[in-house]
Chain A
Amino acid sequence: MQLTGMLYGSRLLNYVGFPTAEVLGPEASEDEIQRLIEKHGTIFIKPLFKGGIGKKGKAGLLGRASNLKTALQEKERLYFVEHKVKNTTAKAQGVTFEGGVPADHEVYFSITDSTRYRAPVITLTHKGGVAIEELEKKYVAEVPFDALTGLKAFVIANALSDIGAPKEIDSPLVQQLPKLWELFHHYGMTTLELNPIRMMPGKGGRLVPVACDFKCGFDRDDPRWERLSLPHHLFTVEHSDFEQEINQLRTYQGQSDVYVINDQGTILAPTFGGGANSLVSEALGDKAIISSDFGGNPPYEKMRDVARICYKHWLKQTNVLFVIGGKSNNTDIETTFRAMADALQDHFNQNGPTPLYVVIGRGGPNLIRGMGAFKDTLDALGLPYRIFGFDSAMSEVVNYALAADDWMRAGGRQEVNNLLGIDE
């Protein structure tokens, strides 16, 4: 759950009284844009992306205008622009118009949790406005601090002193930056980054830090972010319909993490346990439709719903239904298998049979009763299957599933169709 840009960023910063650049949204009228230009001289036009995607400046996705005509041309250029960073492609859904902030100093500031220090940590430099990793280390302060006392002014003061920041920016930053801890810690954030903060001359020449770009990540297991009343649609772009549907079942009882690996895949692998998920996803590659962790001892109803949603979205294209996990410690195999088998029976009842080869590998409490329940259902549905004990290497079971998929692709699917009397 990530948020970038000043449209919503400025609203969040306003909660804690941190100064921000003036921002207009995509709905801004020409008059409003004109007024913004008149007030600030220069304005920036930035594409509006949902979720978190960076490196927009480097990709030439930053428009700059000092008259309305240019501003509107930039708006047209950037309104639906596509932006690709590594594996992520985002499409803009509008632009923002942000008033230029004249300044001699640009500051980078972030708060996140550090696994090196096992504590919240700030990163601060007075040479901001560029990618932080490109700076010399002597200009970058990385300072852990105590979560219970929070980010105090002295932490900032010490950090600025360590990196030799110009003295005129010390006092305003020491005064303003601690406010960001309130935003970070009390609204369920995991990262907060302002880059740049432009140090704008204010009354009497005193500098005021003005946030000109905003990025943050929220912890989806922390309901505090809902206090911000952000529209939920800001985060929906991260999820497919399938993921969205599964996420609605997300409770603390049982994991329900899913990710669509390849929507053209042919192995549907509900996986139990984070470790098994990693191992199986790696081994199946793009044959896998989804990556999932349904462990954590989900109750029957939840497991049945999860299975129902998986089947609804993917069973039709599936060659191999592959239920896989290690030897569970506390996940009840009878409960989870019965739920998955019942959901499979329901799916066949409602949608008719579909050709499947079923491969199962699992261990854990009530194992044989669980395997028995699944076996009975598969027998009743007339599907071919193999069920492996936990004394079979999980990787071997994965290889077996891959071989089953190969066979299904090479005519096996038709044979199962014939077996079930399906005209596919």
Chain B
Amino acid sequence: MKRKGIGNFKYYVGISSLEQLATREDRVCVLNLLGGESRTVSPVSHTFSGGNIVFGTSPGRAGQVLKTKKGNIPVYNNVREGLEAGHHFNTGVVYLPPSGVRDGVAELVRVNPELRKVIILTEKVAVHDAREIRAIGQMEGIDIFGANCLGLADSWNRVRLGGALGGDHPEESLIKGSVAIFSNSGNFTTTIAQYLATGGWGTTTSISSGKDVYIHFAAPEFIYAFSNDQRSKAAVMYVEPGGYYEHDLQINKPIVACVVGRWKSKLNRAVGHAGAMAGSGDDAEAKEKWFMEAFGVNDIFTPENRVFSEKGAVVTNIAHIPLALTEVMNLSRIEPDFEPMGDLSLKSWFGDSKGLALPAELDVPTVEAIPPYKGQIQELNKQIGRIFPRTNMKDASGVSIMDPKTQITKLHGRSILDNSLKSLESNLCFALLREHNGPNDNALTNIAIAAQVNLYGEMTIQAADTAREAGNAPNTVLSAAIAMIGPNRINRQQQIIAAFIDLFSQSGLKDGMKEDFDLSNIEIPEGLRKLLVADAPDEKTEAILSAITERNAKSLFVKLLRDLQEPVHMDAVLAAIAMTIAWSPLARKRISKITAKNFPWYLTIYATLIGASVDGSHHQKDSYCGIPNESLLRSWTFGEIAYLTLLGNQAAPEQLFAFQVLTGLLVSNGPGSISSQGSKGAVAADGPETPNRVQINKAMIGFLTHTGFSHGGAGFEGVTHLVDAFKNTNLTDPSDPNHGLDLTEMARSFAIEYGKQKAALKESTGGRMKAIAGLNHPVFKNKPVNTDPREVFIDELFKKREQYNVFHEYYQTLARQLFEAGVTHNVFCVNIDGVIGAMLLKMLWSQYREGQLNSRKLEVAAFTIFLYGRMMGCAAEINDHINRGKNMDTRTPASQCRYVS
């Protein structure tokens, strides 16, 4: 059934010399030319080989072309169409999926009588199909290479057939010389060529044989063709365990054989190369022995134990190949092909010990890479900040994720519970910069906010007050204010930041607070100077600079301004503050340049959102909410300012702590929450692929418009429930555990009454009672006693701090009494809304008792505190979407939308 081939092979072999394997005359047809792998590999092969691919196939894509530097490769539906169009080829290259390989080969053979070679790149071809492919090749007299190989290459002919030997720069590895390579490993075909160059050896023909059970063009055929190739003075063979391909080879020229895989004899099933399972008598040890017998040597060659003969040497480490080859060839007085190119010593291209005292053998220095990589590394090092790949960000977030099991959201990988223990100013920056502030960053953040929270004489507060007077909810009021903070308001700060980044990106500056950084090589360009310098000193700017000194805050960028010894613009100082805080994460590629540039915009918006939540009467020329501007600048924290705004007085430390925990808990519920969706939609609509056009203030309005009395008012419902429960008591101080109230009795009475009403309602109308705000949760509901882990966290946190909250205890008591009274089938959890309500009412109770807060004001306060927390999480989503998103990526395809009549 087989054709007669060359030599004395029992089977058909058509290649008599390696010279014939990959020639300039070979013409190629690629099956599945437009497939993922072929699409990238084939143009390189085609160009390197002088344009040897005559056409490719891809069913249904006839008429298309694959562009290459050597011209377009036409595509046909099938091989027959390509031949009918007048093309001729002798080599078929198969990139089909495994299930299509056998039929692809059969078709190549059937329709093209000129076919001589088939190279199969596909991995995981079934043995069944390989069996039949073998038989087809034998019957028709076709040499087959692979499957699961990387094809053939010839350095003399500058031809690459099939796969990707030499990668995207074949000329780097395929250096003309005198050594033929045959390798079971595609990767090692190239790696060995690379290693040989370090010994001064180039290559003739390289064969990646494949590594399946059926290796169609295997060691015996290689040896035969190698023997007849006048160009090849020696060969390197890389072989793995499995199969008798290397048994009894008729070797007549020097060979270095590398046999790897002794460890595989321990295995009980194939691993790595499919054919490379240790069987009976064909494991690595046996193969080493076959080669040692052929070479007349009695040991493995190592640099320390150089065992070799004129015929060859056996190595088990590919790094030993160049030396072994040189030694073997020396005996025949054959010199290397060229001067050694480089060496194989350890060369660390990148490294960082992170300050650890490493032993000398680990503490290897970083060295310059070889060209062209050296240049690429230099370019990489010039790049400051991270670049995020763009992807569809609908319902996705690179910053937040809520665990559906625990309902705990993480922001930048940290639980919001942990984040809530941090100060408000730290959380503010963390949302955008992915790192919490140190004390210096906190001081600078506080100054930036304090400098911008007083909106006296600003359009922002006028807009906000107008909206407020029209009866709008806080979110709408704040939207009106920040609509005024458009791009023009921030443009100068952004330009300054961009110029700072250009100026310092190659300076080696790691930390923006290092005022002792050597500025002698930093020269401020005229364009930047113009942006920094003001016509005349400005009182407010000077106050900010004084506050920086007063707080002993360090900033290299502020120092740079001071060194100008001229009046500077307030925007310059605010930009310098923002740059100082953002520099470190930027330098360490935690954030992008886009984020750094937009950071002062977020700070201005944050300050405006806080300021605009109280009416214009609180904004005076010299003071804010009764506190002198200078005092705010010099000593107040952002948390204290926010508390002052909402509650009208300076917080005691524990009050401030509780306030910060509360806002911290509200930061995010993941990208699925309505507020996040609103902010992400606003970014998508502007088109994040042109990030400079995204209006961050509008995106924040997107967040605000996607909050409301339902989404943002949950805390208020809890407050309302608690007010109803406590309004008729004589409670004065909710933090006093000796309040004198019988909470159990209060809860029991409520539970009994609630139960009665519930039963009556069910009996009368079959309806259901409204759920009690703050109790129960759809996830935490099936245990005898249920808890919400967030509530547990808060409960334990404040117990540890000995901070009592009567409302929180009441909620816990109520959950128990509802069960005791038979109203609920198990003990409901106190949910996070209950906790928020309890914490909020504790803060507002004295004002409520004093009659300063009516129901409406209470609701506004509850809503506003939600906005204070959520503005940070949404700023994070906005920033993330600008960095990663695609234009209009939040829309829903029409096919997934429903019409409801």
Contact = CB atoms under 8 A, between A and B. Distances in A.
B264 A396 contact: no
Interface string B150-180: 1000000000000111111000010000000
A222 B126 contact: yes
A272 B260 contact: no
Contacts of A276: 185, 187-188
A387 B350 contact: yes
Interface string B263-304: 110111101111110001010000000000000000000000
A152 to B, nearest CB: 12
Nearest to B139: A148
Interface stretch (A24-32, A75-83, A100-108, A365-373): A365-373
B370 A275 contact: no
Nearest to A90: B268
B131 interface: yes
Contacts of A222: 126-129
Nearest to A329: B164
Given A116-B244, A329-B150, A329-B165, A371 B350 contact: yes
Contacts of B344: 391-393, 396
A120 B357 CA distance: 60
B273 A394 contact: no
B126 to A, nearest CB: 3
B126 A390 contact: no
A278 B319 contact: no
A309 interface: no
Nearest to B403: A350
Interface in B308-350: 316-319, 342-350
Contact of A379 (B240, B264, B349, B589): B589
Nearest to B134: A118
Contacts, number: 293
B268 A88 contact: yes
Contact of B260 (A282, A379, A389): A282
Contacts of A394: 191, 318-319
Given A252-B122, A384-B353, A385-B350, A330 B358 contact: no
A255 interface: yes
Contacts of A149: 1
Contacts of B125: 221
A388 B369 CA distance: 9
Interface in B852-866: none
Nearest to A284: B263
Residue of A274, A293, A368 most packed against chain B (CB within 10 A): A274
A118 B1 contact: no
B98 interface: yes
Contact of A147 (B132, B190, B216): B132
B374 to A, nearest CB: 9
B355 A419 contact: yes
B220 to A, nearest CB: 10
Contact of A274 (B185, B247, B357, B588): B185
Residue of B124, B211, B275 most packed against chain A (CB within 10 A): B124
Contacts of A391: 194, 198, 342-344, 347, 369-370
Nearest to A87: B266
B85 interface: no
B187 A328 contact: yes
B167 A419 contact: no
Contacts of A382: 354
Interface stretch (A155-163, A196-204, A399-407): A399-407
Contacts of B306: none
B191 A326 contact: yes
Given A282-B316, A388-B346, A328 B272 contact: no
A259 B271 CA distance: 7
B545 interface: no
A233 B159 CA distance: 48
A375 B350 contact: yes
Contacts of B273: 274, 278, 293
Q: Interface size for chain B: under 10, 10 to 19, 20 to 34, or 35 or more residues?
A: 35 or more
Contacts of A338: 389
A149 B318 CA distance: 42
Contact of A224 (B36, B128, B262, B282): B128
Contacts of B276: 274, 278
Nearest to A258: B271
Nearest to A238: B269
Interface in A242-276: 252-253, 255, 257-259, 272-276
B190 A119 contact: no
A257 B240 CA distance: 16
Nearest to A351: B413
Given A147-B132, A273-B188, A383-B354, A388 B347 contact: yes
Residue of A88, A393, A403 most packed against chain B (CB within 10 A): A393
A118 B10 CA distance: 10
Nearest to B187: A273
Given A147-B132, A400-B346, A407-B359, A87 B167 contact: no
Nearest to B320: A395
A386 B350 contact: yes
A188 B349 contact: no
Contact of B348 (A369, A388, A407): A388
13 contacts: A115-B218, A115-B242, A146-B1, A273-B185, A274-B272, A282-B316, A293-B273, A329-B164, A330-B41, A367-B376, A387-B348, A390-B191, A392-B344
Interface of A: 2, 86-88, 113, 115-120, 133, 146-149, 185-186, 188, 190, 219, 221-224, 238, 252-253, 255, 257-259, 272-279, 281-283, 285, 291, 293, 295-297, 299, 325-330, 338, 345, 348-350, 363-365, 367-369, 371-372, 375-376, 378-380, 382-397, 400, 403-404, 407, 412, 415-416, 419
Given A147-B135, A252-B124, A387-B351, 15 more contacts: A117-B11, A118-B214, A133-B280, A188-B127, A221-B274, A224-B126, A257-B271, A276-B187, A282-B316, A285-B263, A330-B41, A368-B376, A375-B352, A388-B347, A389-B349
